[in-house]
């Protein structure tokens, strides 16, 4: 029977049972972290060859660059050639730099605030009205924190099954010239697993914007991170923007954080020639050049796109059973009550769980009290504010399988307990 159909007596009886289950959980000493999308140590082990690969005596890149030295701001040619297809840009318009794509996004926003883009009439921070970004929700919390730290106003936009609600997006960007950017995680979105449809990508590339220097911050973090044998491909945003006369619109980001080592991989950026030149001119003020030895190691280890894809297949084999374990628990323990819904992603790192409105914060607190650490409720919304207080983000990647099953069961108990308490108190 669905929870909504329970009489008050039946609800109280269920509450008693769930509370007893919760008290049993309190007696166990679980300590399971599912707060962030961190690769497991088995996943990291897949790339241990990188640690063994010695560059001693062989540290020259193909163009003769001594990788131990300064310079090479745009990244090694062979590294750019290897990773350019991930971004869908030519190697000449690809940058390989640093170890964190989030840092590249931060830099792009910082350069825009401080200097503006080539066609901006002034640095964004000098605009008389605060600049704004569209934020599809639920979305990636660190995008929102980044905006917050620069004082960028955030405008939430609903994320539908095939991408952001384009009726809302089109209307807002055409009317409001303070809207200068938009966050997009186009494939296996964090946290919903959403894949943008060709129509949505076409609409984002073609839409008319009131701001002349509008940018899509296209964070393709999960482009090769399939969880099924269906290796989904999406349209090329850069080519679509060029076709519609907006060649400078998309700033495309990616990284090997969840391919090789999360803390010691390579970050990727690609865009129009003008945007890459713009980036290089500002980046060269900030740094004398990236770590090219790590780039060389990555190229020698991965070799080519096929090498990368076979590594990703190794990740899929480790991740897919973890996702299945969580989904199975949700199916067994929550489905019958009919009040919760969740994503069944075909890739990426997260499961989105929508529970009874008004209970997400409480459920997260209940889970924390029994040793299951979830992402704070609300964090997938600007300023941490989920207006319905109903969304949870589950990150199944790092715990082992038996811990995951225990954690997922505990989450179901907490979600059900929070729902019973809410309904009884009404
Ligand atoms: N973008 C998205 C959508 C992510 O989910 C993450 C990691 N959770 C990142 C960027 C961070 O990437 P990086 O390690 O390259 O900074």
pLDDT tens digits, residue range 64-74? 999 999 999 99
- In terms of pTM, does the model score above 0.85? yes
Same domain, 400 and 268: no
Domain boundary among 286, 303, 320: 303
Same domain, 292 and 331: no
Domain boundary among 303, 321, 356: 303
Same domain, 221 and 113: yes
- Tell me the average pLDDT of the chain: 97
Domain contains 349: yes
Of the candidates 125, 130, 127, the one whose C-alpha atom is nearest the C-alpha of residue 114 is: 125
Q: What is the pLDDT of residues 84-142, one digit of tens each?
A: 999 999 999 999 999 999 999 999 999 999 999 999 999 999 999 999 999 999 999 99
Domain contains 51: no
Residues across the chain: 426
* Confidence label for 190 from pLDDT (cuts 50, 70 and 90): very high
Question: Which residues form the domain of 234?
Answer: 61-303
Q: Is 80 exceeded by the pLDDT of residue 256?
A: yes
Rounded to the nearest whole angstrom, what is the distance from the C-alpha of residue 112 to the centroid of ligand 1?
20
102 ligand 1 Cβ < 6 A: yes
Same domain, 242 and 332: no
104 ligand 1 Cβ < 6 A: no
Share of the chain above pLDDT 70, in %: 100
- What is the average pLDDT across 301-316? 98
- Read off the CATH number of the domain in which 29 is found: 3.90.1150.10
Rounded to the nearest whole angstrom, what is the distance from the C-alpha of residue 143 to the centroid of ligand 1?
9
Per-residue model confidence (pLDDT) at position 29? 82
Same domain, 25 and 72: no
221 ligand 1 Cβ < 6 A: yes
Q: What is the pLDDT of residues 390-417, one digit of tens each?
A: 999 999 999 999 999 999 999 999 999 9
Q: Is 80 exceeded by the pLDDT of residue 50?
A: yes
101 ligand 1 Cβ < 6 A: yes
Contact 125, 299 (CB under 8 A): no
* Confidence label for 37 from pLDDT (cuts 50, 70 and 90): very high
Rounded to the nearest whole angstrom, what is the distance from the C-alpha of residue 11 to the centroid of ligand 1?
41
Domain boundary among 303, 328, 350: 303
Domain contains 170: yes
* Confidence label for 1 from pLDDT (cuts 50, 70 and 90): confident
Same domain, 34 and 70: no
Q: Tell me which residue has its CA closest to atom 2 in ligand 1.
A: 221
Per-residue model confidence (pLDDT) at position 404? 95
Same domain, 267 and 398: no
How many domains is the chain built from? 2
Same domain, 21 and 132: no
Domain contains 154: yes
Domain contains 316: yes
Rounded to the nearest whole angstrom, what is the distance from the C-alpha of residue 60 to the centroid of ligand 1?
30
Domain contains 49: no
Domain contains 50: no
* Lowest-confidence segment of 22-31, 42-51, 175-184, 229-238 by average pLDDT: 22-31
Same domain, 143 and 277: yes
Rounded to the nearest whole angstrom, what is the distance from the C-alpha of residue 102 to the centroid of ligand 1?
6
- Read off the CATH number of the domain in which 152 is found: 3.40.640.10
Unique residue bearing structure tokens 């299945």: 324
Same domain, 149 and 221: yes
Q: Is 274 exposed, middle or buried (0-12, 13-18, 19+ CB in 10 A)?
A: middle
Domain contains 419: yes
Q: Tell me which residue has its CA closest to atom 11 in ligand 1.
A: 102
Half-sphere exposure of 96 (CA within 13 A, CB side): 28
Same domain, 94 and 153: yes
189 ligand 1 Cβ < 6 A: no
Same domain, 291 and 223: yes
What span, in angstroms and rounded, lies between the C-alpha atoms of 295 and 310? 19
Per-residue model confidence (pLDDT) at position 426? 74
* Confidence label for 308 from pLDDT (cuts 50, 70 and 90): very high
């Amino acid at each position: 029977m669905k929870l909504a159909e329970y009489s008050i007596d039946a609800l109280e009886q269920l509450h008693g049972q769930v509370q007893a289950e919760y008290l049993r959980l309190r007696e166990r000493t679980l300590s399971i972290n599912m707060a962030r999308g961190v690769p497991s140590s088995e996943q990291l082990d897949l790339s241990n060859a990188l640690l063994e690969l010695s560059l001693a005596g062989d540290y020259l890149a193909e163009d003769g660059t001594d990788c131990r030295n300064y310079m090479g701001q745009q990244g090694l040619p062979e590294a750019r050639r290897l990773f350019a297809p991930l971004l869908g840009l030519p190697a000449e318009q690809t940058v390989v730099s640093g170890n964190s794509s989030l840092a590249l996004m931060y830099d792009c926003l910082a350069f825009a605030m401080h200097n503006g883009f080539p066609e901006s009439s002034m640095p964004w921070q000098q605009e008389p009205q605060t600049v704004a970004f569209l934020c599809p929700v639920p979305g990636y919390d660190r995008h929102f924190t980044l905006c917050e730290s620069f004082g960028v106003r955030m405008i939430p936009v609903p994320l539908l099954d095939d991408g952001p609600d384009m009726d809302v997006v089109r209307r807002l960007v055409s009317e409001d010239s303070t809207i200068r950017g938009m966050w997009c995680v186009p494939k296996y979105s964090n946290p919903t697993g959403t894949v943008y449809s060709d129509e949505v990508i076409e609409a984002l590339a073609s839409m008319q914007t009131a701001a002349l220097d509008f940018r899509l911050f296209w964070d393709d973090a999960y482009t090769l991170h399939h969880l099924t044998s269906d290796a989904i491909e999406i349209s090329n945003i850069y080519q679509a923007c060029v076709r519609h006369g907006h060649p400078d619109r998309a700033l495309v980001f990616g990284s090997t954080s969840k391919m090789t080592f999360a803390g010691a991989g390579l970050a990727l950026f690609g865009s129009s020639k003008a945007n890459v030149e713009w980036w290089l001119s500002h980046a060269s003020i900030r740094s004398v050049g990236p770590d090219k030895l790590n780039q060389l190691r990555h190229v020698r280890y991965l070799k080519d796109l096929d090498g990368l894809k076979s590594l990703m297949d190794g990740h899929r084999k480790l991740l897919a059973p973890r996702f299945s374990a969580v989904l199975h628990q949700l199916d067994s323990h929550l489905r019958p009550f009919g009040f919760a819904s969740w994503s069944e992603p075909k890739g990426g790192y997260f499961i989105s769980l929508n529970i009874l409105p008004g209970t997400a914060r409480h459920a997260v607190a209940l889970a924390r009290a029994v040793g299951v650490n979830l992402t704070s409720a609300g964090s997938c919304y600007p300023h941490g504010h989920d207006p319905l207080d109903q969304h949870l983000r589950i990150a199944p990647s790092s715990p082992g399988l038996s811990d995951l099953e225990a954690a997922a069961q505990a989450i179901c108990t907490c979600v059900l307990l929070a729902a019973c308490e809410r309904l009884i108190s009404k």
